[in-house]
Structure 1
Amino acid sequence: MGSPRLYQVHAIVLKDREVGEADRLVCLFTLERGKVWARANGVRKPTSRLGGHLQPLCHSRLLLARGRDRDVVSQAEALHTFPRLRSDLPLLAHAMACAEVLEGLTAEEQANPRAFHLLLRTLEGLEGGEGTLLVRWYEVHLLGALGFLPQLFACAECGASLAPRSHAFRLSAGGVVCPACAQRGGPSLPISLEALKVLRWLARHDFPQVRPLRLGAVAQEVERLLRETFRWHLERDVRSARFGERVGSGLPLP
């Protein structure tokens, strides 16, 4: 027997785009199957029962029907709509950046329950009042869940132990490199001992242990290192993060 025509998934809507006169393609990250693109027929009609359940960042239970080109959303039930995120532009920018990097770093039909729960937990935390520290924790753990976490505990090139001092962060090598390897050339970024300690703490601990951290001046360095890591793997900037910068600076939005 073949696969059943209808199947149920728990999904977070990462993004969507309009197709035809009244339809949308929705990019879902599902607990059961990873990233899935599905078609929501008629969802843009005022009478559609699906619209409120398929907004970006919505966590929903969906019934999908297998289609020839794309699976089709047959039924939808919103479980969490995160209304606070939608009414707060800085929070929305954080949440959209979290969704964007997950979408950009994953292939279709590759289940990753750890990544699903990381995103859901982060959206719930942002909705509950957490801020940028939660986003940094999410970014580090997402890189780990997807196999992209930079080497932080030994030299990425020679494997030597890292002395408690500033080092170089070389993405082409896969992480932090010792002074001897740093001298052998190749583009790199400086990484202070304080930033290295923060990244290690984020990688090793669950968020309740991370929450008491006060990053202070090192926060911008940690953010920059993580942003460069995502840029390296995505081969582009994180667009939602740039949107967040404009919101935070008061600059006019494009």
Structure 2
Amino acid sequence: MKLYKTDALVLRNLNRGDTDQLLVLFSLEYGKLKVIAHGSRKITSRKRGAVQPLTLTRFLIHRGRYLDSVRQCEELESFPELFLRMDRICYASYAVELVENSTVEGEANQILFAALVEALRQLGKGDPEIVARAFALKLITLTGYKPLLDLCAKCRKDLTGKALAFSPSAGGFLCADCAREKSEDQMVKCHRGTLETIKLMLAWELSKLGQLRVDAKIRGELYFVLKLHLEYHLGYRCATEMLIEKLKYRNNRYGLKL
């Protein structure tokens, strides 16, 4: 068929020529797509609002020889609460960047699509940092890189004691004995509370995360665990994460809050 319909989140748009935009979409039925939206930059274009990043849109797309093009589009949800606070928009950008860089064009993942839509809704309501970390953990699981959480990733014994470590190359958490034996730069020491928080984040729906209270120490360890794991398995450093780090450093320096 030359025409097909799909509901999709706009992950990114890139200007092409004077009036067109190349869209990177994550769709329910077709996974990641790249399509051209002709004339969408015109002030009078009906497509203009529906092709903005972080918008859920229903598309009618024409299948082209080299690149598909948008025939019609209708905005379904724009998540306005995200744009009221800097931390919300930063963590929303973090979530969509992870999706773009961890998925393959043309491969549908309806569970991940639903998780991303729900994450964008919850980022506008709850603690954006915790929602974003929980979404990243769910993405890691859905893309096949879930870390080992119940046993030591090296000796396969039960994880006992309060002092643990996390190693992305080993594939999960290490007991205290194996952590002492393993010498590598990409390993982070952490407490049992961090492991238990990760388990809760994976078990709970994103809509329930407002009940989860996470202290500053565990937040810091979660950051390093996810940063190392994503960099190791995806092979790149998340640009939005680097921006968030810079903003936090600036805000801490001047007594502000992200």
TM-score (normalizing by structure 2): 0.89
Match of 2:204 in 1: 205
Task: After TM superposition, give the deviation of residue 6 of structure 1 in Å.
Answer: 0.4
Note if contact 1:105-1:233 (Cα within 8 Å) is conserved in structure 2.
no
Tell me the CA shift for residue 209 of structure 1: 4.6
1:236 and 2:236 correspond: yes
Residues in 1 aligned to 2:121 and 2:55: alpha-carbon distance in whole angstroms = 11
Q: Which runs of 5+ in 2 are unaligned?
A: none
* AA in 2 matched with 1:117: A
Aligned counterpart for 1:72 among listed residues 69, 80, 83: 69
Deviating above 4 A after TM superposition, structure 1's stretches of 4 or more consecutive aligned residues are none
1:125 aligns with 2:85: no
The residue that corresponds to 2:29 in the other structure is 32
Q: Does 1:60 align with 2:57?
A: yes
Aligned equivalents of 2:114, 2:201: Cα separation in 1:
17
Q: What is the Cα deviation at residue 150 of structure 1?
A: 1.2
1:179 Cα deviation after fit: 3.7
CA contact (8 A) 1:170 1:177 kept: yes
CA distance in 1, matches of 2:206, 2:39: 40
* Cα separation, partners in 2 of 1:184 and 1:86, compared to 1, 3 Å: closer
Q: Distance in 1 between matches of 2:245 and 2:189?
A: 23
Show the counterpart of 2:143. 146
Question: Structure 1: any 5+ residue segments left out of the alignment?
Answer: none
The more displaced of 39-48 and 61-70 is 39-48
The normalised TM-score by structure 1 is: 0.91
State the partner residue of 2:224: 224
AA aligned opposite 1:200? K
Per the alignment, residue 8 of structure 1 pairs with: 5
Q: Secondary structure at the match of 1:111?
A: coil
Supply the distance in 2 between the matched residues of 1:201 and 1:99 (Cα, whole angstroms).
22
Partner amino acid, structure 2, of 1:192: H
Q: Which amino acid in 2 is paired with 1:235?
A: G
Is the contact between residue 38 and residue 69 of structure 2 (CA under 8 Å) also seen in structure 1? yes
Instruction: For 2:85 and 2:171, locate their aligned partners in 1 and report how far apart those are by CA, in whole Å.
Output: 36
1:94 is displaced (CA, Å) by: 0.7
Contact 1:201 1:210 in 2 (8 A): no
Cα contact 2:87–2:128 (8 A) shared by 1: no
Which residue number in structure 2 is paired with residue 45 of structure 1?
42
Aligned twin of 1:93: 90
* Structure 1 residue 51: Cα displacement: 1.1
1:62–1:75: 8 Å Cα contact kept in structure 2?
Answer: yes
Give the share of equivalent positions with the same residue, in percent: 31
Structure 1: distance between partners of 2:206 and 2:14: 33
Of the structure 1 ranges 24-33 and 213-222, higher mean CA displacement relative to structure 2 is found in: 213-222
> Who is 2:193 aligned against?
194
Q: Distance in 1 between matches of 2:195 and 2:54?
A: 31
Determine helix, strand or coil for the equivalent of 1:157: coil
Secondary structure of the residue that 1:211 maps to in structure 2? Answer: helix
- 1:129-149 CA-to-partner distances (Å, cap 9, x unmatched) read 542221121111111111112
Conserved in 1, the CA contact under 8 Å of 2:32 and 2:105? yes
Number of equivalenced pairs: 249
Distance 1:206 1:44, change over 3 A: same
Q: CA offsets, 1:82-133, max 9 Å, x none?
A: 2222342221111000000111111111110111011100111122354222
